[in-house]
Amino acid sequence: MSNTIIIGGGIIGLSLGWQLAKKGINVEILERHIAGRSASWAAAGMLAPQAEMGFEDIELFYLCRKSLDMYPRFVEELYADSGIKVELEKTGCILPGFDRDDAERLRRLYDFREKIGMPVLWLTGSEAREIEPFLSPRCTGAIWIEDDAQINNRLLLDALKTAFQKCGGKLYEEHNVENINITNGKIEGVSVHGKDLKFENIIVAGGAWSKQIPGLPENLQPPVRPVKGQIINLRLNDSCRVTKVVRAPDVYLLPKSDGRLILGASVEEQGYDTDPTAGEIFRLLERGWEAVPSIYDLSIESIDVGLRPGSRDHMPIIGDSEIEGLYFATGHYRNGILLTPVTAFELSDWIASGKKSEALSGFGIERFYKETV
Ligand SMILES: Cc1cc2nc3c(=O)[nH]c(=O)nc-3n(C[C@H](O)[C@H](O)[C@H](O)COP(=O)(O)OP(=O)(O)OC[C@H]3O[C@@H](n4cnc5c(N)ncnc54)[C@H](O)[C@@H]3O)c2cc1C
């Protein structure tokens, strides 16, 4: 089997590497810092396609839903290969409204979900507080989605790193890919630390930095930009024991099994800046407190900042390219944790068998070929 290199050791690179190694492919991951410490680490770990979907995202929604359905198999295989059990937590997700505007917006979202057959329930304010007693008494109505889930993405990253290496993959950290070498339309390999390394397949999984890697022809530079996200990790205590994911207007509150309550997340166009800022933190706390007033007394454990890989149309870029052996798995934007199983299973099958994935059709880089940058 041909030698394959993955550029980037985030959740996407690690999970693809693991699946390729399992198939007997000789695969190496080059990560310029520490694997699994970029956006994939900062993420909240929400697996909530049904709560997150807007009206315009129907194709993306079906891909997300497919990926959520693949999660049980994904974590089971991962346990077998890594020895690390990562639970899929079926917390359910509640979308509360607090005024007439919210109620109108939620009603439209509810009607749309019901129309396409999603399992959603409409709740009155008091029914919503029966499901999540820490919700503000100002809640006038809510959507309840029982089968959205969440996962401990940090544990998942540890498990993926272990499974990848146990299955024979090689991980090189502190290895910055300085150039992708392509001669006469053919993959030669990559340059690292000034040395040229030969590879037949290259998978670009560099997250928000995917467009920055030199060497790609202009039309194959994935149109991905960094979209900054800040989250606050609070520590739950008896004064506030939220158990459901609360997706309130402009903020979500996510109780984690390790005792954190995550408040997230800002969505900012600030280039590669990763400094936390008072304004966004204030806004998250204020919106979080409006939805669940008892967060007031919780202690702040830490603040994390990550850069989401946002493509031009906010859909992921997954698949092959006009250059044989050059693949992309990037641009997962706000859904990278959720889309991990479908990316890893489908793209690794495609690379190993040479047979294109139907599930990934429409998500390739060729959709941007005709656009001007
Ligand atoms: C605050 C926040 C909350 C989020 N919450 C959720 C959520 O609840 N659910 C969800 O599904 N998604 C969520 N996301 C989105 C999700 O985190 C991302 O979509 C996902 O992590 C992208 O994974 P990745 O592997 O592509 O990128 P990353 O994790 O960023 O990994 C890319 C890696 O590539 C490496 N790299 C880049 N260039 C090179 C190079 N030249 N050479 C070598 N290595 C290189 C980088 O160092 C990095 O480690 C959230 C994101 C943020 C920021």
Task: Please give the distance, rounded to the nearest whole angstrom, from the Cα atom of residue 330 to the centre of ligand 1.
Answer: 9
Task: Please give the distance, rounded to the nearest whole angstrom, from the Cα atom of residue 24 to the centre of ligand 1.
Answer: 26
Q: In a mutational test of the pocket of ligand 1, which residue from 6, 28, 38 has the highest number of ligand atoms less than 8 Å from its CB? A: 38
What pLDDT sits at residue 1? 46
What pLDDT sits at residue 370? 66
Ligand 1 binding pocket includes 142 (Cβ within 6 Å): no
Q: DSSP of 91-119, one letter per residue?
A: --EEEEE-SHHHHHHHHHHHHHHHHTT--
Ligand 1 binding pocket includes 31 (Cβ within 6 Å): yes
For residue 104, which of 132, 143, 136, 138 has the smallest C-alpha distance? 143
Query: What is the crossing angle of helices 340-353 and 58-82, to 10°?
Result: 80
What pLDDT sits at residue 331? 98
Ligand 1 binding pocket includes 334 (Cβ within 6 Å): yes
Cis check for the bond before 103: say yes or no (omega within 30 of 0). no
Q: In a mutational test of the pocket of ligand 1, which residue from 5, 6, 12 has the highest number of ligand atoms less than 8 Å from its CB? A: 12
Tens of pLDDT along the chain (373 residues) come to 469 999 999 999 999 999 999 999 999 999 999 999 999 999 999 999 888 777 667 899 999 999 999 999 999 999 999 999 999 999 999 999 999 999 899 999 899 888 888 889 999 999 999 999 999 999 999 999 998 899 999 999 999 999 999 999 999 999 999 999 999 999 999 999 999 999 999 999 999 999 999 999 999 999 999 999 999 999 999 999 999 999 998 999 999 999 999 999 999 999 999 999 999 999 999 999 999 999 999 999 999 999 999 999 999 999 999 999 999 999 999 999 999 999 999 999 999 999 999 999 999 999 998 655 4
Task: Please give the distance, rounded to the nearest whole angstrom, from the Cα atom of residue 36 to the centre of ligand 1.
Answer: 8
Locate 341 and state its tokens: 């199983």
Residue 338 CA: nearest ligand 1 atom is 11
Is the pTM above the cut of 0.85? Answer: yes
The one-character DSSP state at 237 is: B
Ligand 1 binding pocket includes 231 (Cβ within 6 Å): yes
Beta bridge partners of 23: none
Residue 208 CA: nearest ligand 1 atom is 30
Backbone angles phi, psi at 103, to 5 degrees: -60, -45
Ligand 1 binding pocket includes 46 (Cβ within 6 Å): yes
Ligand 1 binding pocket includes 229 (Cβ within 6 Å): yes
Locate 214 and state its tokens: 């030199």
What pLDDT sits at residue 56? 66
Burial 143-169 (b: 16+ CB within 10 A, else e): bbbbebbbbbbbbbbbbbbbbbbebeb
Ligand 1 binding pocket includes 169 (Cβ within 6 Å): no
What pLDDT sits at residue 118? 84
Count Cβ atoms below 10 Å from residue 281 Cβ, excluding itself. Answer: 17
Amino acid 39 reads A
> Atom 16 of ligand 1 has which residue's CA nearest to it?
336
> Atom 4 of ligand 1 has which residue's CA nearest to it?
43
